[in-house]
């Protein structure tokens, strides 16, 4: 969920920052809405528990769910991360020797600070696990533990639920370390990137069917890597094509909401989960591509407030949940609708401060670490040049 690196950000791709910012906002809304028991019910109880035609039903089982579709927003994050790192790896200046330490520093330094923030907030505002606040609050840990903190700091062994958004960082780290394999696949299928995207969507669908996280989530990044070839090779589109992309963006949003909008008509089963999972990943891919090519969408995503939100999106993603839970606990039962505006009023300024004090310095330090290792690799004859040539030749052949 990292911001597009500054050297890679162009006026055309600034829209991806805006898309990331809106997706992060959706995740915040998602967690705030889950403090309302009636809206948390569809996540923790059978469909029949929600009365058809009620406000909760409309917000849950129609495309209105897009307003708080947190899980689907994370799928967009995964595709975006694959696209951003795929673009970065295709650059002739890309260096594998510096990439790994820089990437790990970029991810882990803000996470360490976010874990410290989460522990501090959970300690200052003790959690009661009050069931009257809804099933989501009831399932959160009532406080930090040494084991949980260790899991959160390492990520790859599975985070605790003290800061539940960290679950996605586990897959982000694993993908980042496996990026060379993704690029090998991208080079092998450089003339058919849509085939690579289709294979990844199919693999993710199988993962949904089998309930396997590795097979579900890691292919999502591969979809983004495949899109990075299309973004770098697709010529400037015509006026008709740009409006076609706008229609595609609407279709992508409908696909992303399909897991919920199709629920009333599809009986719960592993097959239905696999089908809707594939539709969500496809929708995320279409939306990310449209965020580059659909000019009306691009203009909206490049509005200054939206791009600013994208700038702090990683910080917002990392620290918002402890704020949401503390707000819900302080307000008490029956005041769930107030959680969202209050949590946003606190979380957005806090995220801006976290970005300035933690994330931005971490990025600068990570860049210096990457430069140091890149210099050492070059001095020791590391095969960085060959990797650059491989990426550059794949770009020319596409």
Q: In total, how many domains does the chain have?
A: 1
Are the C-beta atoms of 231 and 292 separated by less than 8 Å? yes
What's the domain range around 153? 6-397
The answer to whether position 1 is within a domain reads no
Q: 220 is written with which tokens?
A: 């999502």
In a domain, 215, yes or no: yes
- Asked whether residue 345 is domain-assigned, the answer is yes
pLDDT 10s per residue in the chain (398 long)? 444 444 343 334 789 999 999 999 999 999 999 999 888 888 887 655 677 888 888 999 999 999 999 999 999 999 999 999 999 998 888 889 899 999 999 999 999 999 999 999 999 998 887 777 788 888 888 888 899 999 999 988 888 888 999 999 999 999 999 999 999 999 999 889 999 999 999 999 999 999 999 999 999 999 999 999 887 655 555 667 777 888 999 999 999 999 999 887 787 788 999 999 999 999 999 999 999 888 889 899 999 999 999 999 999 999 999 999 999 999 988 888 999 999 999 999 999 999 999 999 999 999 999 888 875 544 444 443 443 433 333 333 33
The residue behind tokens 């967690």 is 31
d(CA 7, CA 354): 22
Task: Please name the residues in contact with 321: beta carbons below 8 A apart, sequence gap of 6 or more.
Answer: 31, 118, 163, 164, 165
Task: Report angle CA 27, 33, 38 to the nearest 5 degrees.
Answer: 145
If you count them, how many residues does the chain have?
Answer: 398
Question: What tokens were used for 149?
Answer: 């903190």
Structure tokens at 210: 């089998």
Report yes or no on 131 lying in a domain: yes
DSSP state of 2: P
Alpha-carbon separation of residue 78 from 61, 102, 132, 392 (angstroms): 24, 19, 34, 24
Helix (H) or strand (E) holding 364: helix 360-379
Q: Which tokens hold the place of 248?
A: 């595609």
**DSSP type of residue 48:** G
Do the domain assignments include residue 41?
Answer: yes
348-367 b/e with 16+ CB inside 10 Å = b?
Answer: bebbbebbeebbbebbeebb
């Amino acid at each position: 969920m990292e911001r597009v690196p500054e050297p890679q950000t162009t006026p055309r791709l600034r829209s991806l920052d805006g898309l990331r910012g809106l997706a992060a906002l959706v995740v915040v809304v998602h967690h705030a809405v889950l403090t309302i028991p009636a809206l948390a019910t569809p996540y923790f109880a059978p469909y029949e528990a929600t009365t058809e035609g009620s406000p909760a039903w409309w917000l849950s089982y129609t495309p209105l769910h897009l307003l708080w579709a947190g899980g689907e927003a994370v799928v967009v994050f995964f595709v975006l991360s694959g696209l951003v790192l795929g673009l970065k790896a295709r650059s002739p200046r890309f260096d594998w020797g510096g990439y790994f330490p820089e990437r790990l520093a970029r991810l882990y330094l803000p996470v360490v600070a976010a874990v410290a923030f989460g522990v501090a907030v959970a300690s200052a505002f003790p959690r009661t696990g009050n069931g009257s606040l809804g099933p989501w609050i009831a399932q959160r840990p009532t406080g930090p533990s040494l084991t949980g903190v260790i899991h959160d700091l390492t990520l790859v062994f599975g985070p605790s639920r003290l800061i539940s958004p960290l679950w996605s960082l586990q897959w982000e780290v694993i993908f980042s370390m496996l990026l060379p394999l993704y690029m090998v696949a991208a080079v092998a299928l450089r003339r058919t990137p849509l085939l690579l995207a289709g294979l990844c969507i199919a693999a993710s669908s199988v993962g949904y069917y089998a309930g396997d996280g590795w097979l579900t989530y890691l292919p999502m990044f591969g979809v983004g890597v495949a899109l990075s070839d299309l973004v770098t090779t697709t010529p400037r589109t015509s006026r008709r094509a740009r409006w076609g992309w706008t229609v595609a963006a609407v279709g992508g949003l409908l696909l992303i909401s399909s897991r919920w909008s199709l629920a009333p008509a599809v009986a719960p089963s592993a097959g239905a989960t696999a089908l809707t999972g594939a539709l969500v990943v496809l929708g995320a891919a279409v939306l990310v591509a449209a965020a580059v090519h659909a000019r009306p969408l691009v203009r909206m995503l490049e509005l200054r407030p939206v791009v600013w939100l994208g700038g702090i999106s990683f910080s917002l993603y990392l620290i918002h949940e402890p704020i949401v839970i503390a707000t819900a606990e302080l307000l008490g039962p029956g005041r769930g609708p107030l959680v969202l505006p209050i949590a946003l009023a606190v979380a957005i300024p806090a995220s801006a401060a976290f970005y300035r004090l933690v994330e931005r310095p971490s990025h600068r330090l990570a860049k210096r670490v990457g430069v140091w290792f890149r210099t050492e690799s070059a001095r020791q004859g590391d095969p960085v040049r060959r990797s650059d040539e491989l990426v550059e030749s794949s770009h020319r052949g596409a």
